[in-house]
C-alpha cells in the first residue's frame, strides 16, 4: 500500500533500455501508478546539468559501476585516474555505459542508483 506522504507524482529513470536492471526497474515502476519518464543515455546522452546533483546525492563511487563490462574494458591507467567527482564526471561523459543503472530521480528530487523492489517500495 502506498504511503500518501511519500507518493511521488513523477519519476525519471535514466539508463540504457537493454540493461536488465533498468528493465526490472521500469517494469516495477510501471505497476505503481506513477508517471514515469525514461531518459536513454545512448540516444539522449548523459544530462550534464544533472550530474553535479547526482554526485552530491549519492557520490561518484555509487555512480561509477566498477563491476560492469565497460569498467573492466578500460585500461588500468584510466581506472586508476578516477579518484574524485571531476575525474568520474569526465569518465561518465566519455563512457555513459560506465554509469551504474538505473539512476532514478524521484518526484521529491531525491536520487537513487540501482534497483531493489524493497528500496523502491519505500519511496512510493
Instruction: Name the catalytic one among 11, 13, 19, 88.
Output: 19
What Cα–Cα distance (Å) separates residue 63 from each residue in 9, 24, 66, 101, 108?
24, 18, 9, 8, 20
How many other CB atoms are found less than 10 A from the CB of residue 38? 16
Nearest alpha carbon to residue 6 among 101, 110, 115, 114: 110
52 Cα distance to chain centroid:
13
Burial class (CB in 10 A: 0-12, 13-18, 19+), 57: middle
Q: Is 100 a catalytic residue?
A: no
Residues forming the active site:
19
Amino acid at each position: 500500500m502506498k504511503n500518501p506522504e511519500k507518493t511521488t507524482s513523477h519519476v525519471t529513470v535514466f539508463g540504457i533500455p537493454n540493461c536488465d536492471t533498468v528493465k526490472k526497474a521500469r517494469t516495477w515502476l510501471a505497476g505503481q501508478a506513477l508517471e514515469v519518464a525514461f531518459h536513454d543515455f545512448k540516444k539522449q546522452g548523459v544530462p550534464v546539468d544533472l550530474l553535479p546533483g547526482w554526485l552530491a546525492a549519492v557520490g561518484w563511487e555509487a555512480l561509477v559501476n566498477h563491476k560492469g563490462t565497460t569498467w573492466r574494458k578500460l585500461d588500468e591507467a584510466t581506472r586508476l585516474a578516477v579518484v574524485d567527482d571531476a575525474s568520474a564526471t569526465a569518465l561518465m561523459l566519455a563512457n555513459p555505459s560506465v554509469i551504474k543503472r538505473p539512476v532514478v530521480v524521484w518526484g521529491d528530487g531525491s536520487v537513487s542508483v540501482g534497483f531493489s523492489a524493497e528500496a523502491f517500495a519505500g519511496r512510493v
